[in-house]
Structures are given as structure tokens and as C-alpha cells.
Amino acid sequence: MILRFALLASLCLLQLPAEAGTDCAAVRIPPEKVAAAAETALRTAQALDRVDAPVALVARIGRDLSEHGLVYSHAGFALREHGSGRWTVVHLLNECGSQRSGLYAQGLVNFFADDLVNQDARIVWLQPEHARRLAAHLAALPANPLYHPDYNLIARPGSRRYQNSTAWVLETLAATRPGAGEIHDRHAAWMVAARDGFRADTIHIPYSKRVLGGLFGGNVVFTDHAVATRLSGDYPVVTVRSILRWLDERGDVDAQMEWRGGALQARPGPG
């Protein structure tokens, strides 16, 4: 218990960079937020250590999407063995609110210390063969990253022009599914997901918010979607919930854990 308290205290002294996604300014994270992130990181690492798996999907709530019926806004892959350290999260982040992105490797504390809505979290473990293939793929990065730097927060599922964080997660999962074969490009990965029953979620963006720019920001490209979609305001997007639903329906989930308000949930929600 003393060691655990000492770790939390030392982490509270850290100055962490803001998530690449809103602006480029480095910010001083308040000690209480770093302490909360450290608690979540410790809890997550302990859960990951208890399962004999090389990688797991980890989700967090960085943006409040409750008005769209969604919980988790972002996910990445926690790798047991990584050059940057044990349980490093590999994920795609938008750079400074622009239409560019990058692949990042972060420790669990940094992953959860990004000015999140709250510290709710979810871990999803894959079936062993899928996890093995996924871990091997991630360990080989930057080779074949299935990554496109042109970012759009509401990228159309299957878009060849743009990609967002959840699309990268989906395409990486699809490319490493057992039986997928050798996948070396994003379109082929998307075709595997579509063939295997992936269904995007739909979010409604009223025209008034489009005109005023009040919903998201400068990293949104509406013209990635068809004219009919823009007229209706109903945009199909890859969400964490749609990824979790797809994995569950395909029988790819081996186990799950979820914490809401710091409490372990007896049954994970829909995401």
C-alpha cells in the first residue's frame, strides 16, 4: 500500500502533454487528474497482468458522446511487450485539431491522463489466435501500419481519403483476424470487416451545427460523405461501440472488464 501511494504521489508531479487533438500547447495536468489517471492505469495494468494475453483493446471516454447514445470515444491496443515499456498503448491521435494524425505509443498513465470526461474504462481481450496475430502486427510497426495521415473525425467507413482513430482500430483488427490472409492495405482490411458483418453507427449532426461549426471543430470533413448523407445529417461512423458489437457478434471476444465510476461492472454495457 505504501509503494502504491508513493507511485501516485510521484505521478502527480508530472507535466504531461495535451492529447494531440485540440491544440499543440503543452498543459500542466492538475495533480488530482494525474492521480486519477494513475489509479485507472494501475487498475488496468493489474487486470491485464492477470490474463495470459499479449495484447488487449482498451477504451476510454475522452469526449462526451452521450447525446449520440455512445459511451466510449476512443480506443487503442495495450501491448504487454513493447519497446517503450510493458503495457504500452498504441493508438492513432489527431494532431493539434488539424486534418493530420499520427500513430503514438503511450504508457497507461498518459493514456488516461488526457483531460478525459471521466476515468471509466473498458478492456476487451480477443480470442488467443487473433490476439497473437494482432500483437505480431503491432510489434512490427511501422511496417504495414494500415495507417493514413489525412484525418477526419467523422471519416466515412471505408473511406480511402481519410481515417480516424476508430477506423484505424477496426481496420487493424480486421486485417489480423484469423483467416483474413495477408492484408497490406486499408481497403482490403475494410473489405474484411464489411464481409464479416461490420455495421457502422450513425450520428446525427444538424445542419445548424455544421454551419456554425459548433459540434466538433476544424478536423471534420463533411464532404467525405455523400450528398444524401449531408442533406439528412445522419453520418455513418466507426465508433467504439460498433467495433465492440462487431467483435462480439463474430465471437472474437474472449473476455471483458469494465469500470464505471471506479466500480467493476458485473456485465459490460454496449459501449
Q: Is residue 98 part of a domain?
A: yes
Residue 5, pLDDT score: 29
Residue 211 is predicted with a pLDDT of 60
pTM summary value: 0.90
Set of cell numbers at residue 99 = 486534418
The reported pLDDT for the residue numbered 213 is 53
Bridge-based pairing of strands 101-106 and 201-204 is unpaired
pLDDT attached to residue 7? 36
Q: What is the pLDDT of residue 132?
A: 98
pLDDT for position 18: 39
Q: Is 269 part of any domain?
A: no
- In the chain, which residues have pLDDT < 50? 1-22, 214
For residue 74, the cross-strand partners are 60
For residue 255, list its beta bridge partners: 125
Residue 270 within any structural domain of the chain: no
Does residue 271 lie within any of the structural domains? Answer: no
Instruction: Confirm whether 268 is domain-assigned.
Output: no
22-to-93, 103, 180, 215 alpha-carbon distances in Å: 10, 16, 35, 13
Q: How many domains does the chain have?
A: 1
* Domain with 98 in it: 2-263
- Residues 162, 221: Cα–Cα separation, whole Å: 9
Number of other CB atoms surrounding residue 160 within 10 Å: 13
Task: Please report whether residue 33 resides in a domain.
Answer: yes
Residue 179 lies in a domain: yes
**242 in a domain, yes or no?**
yes
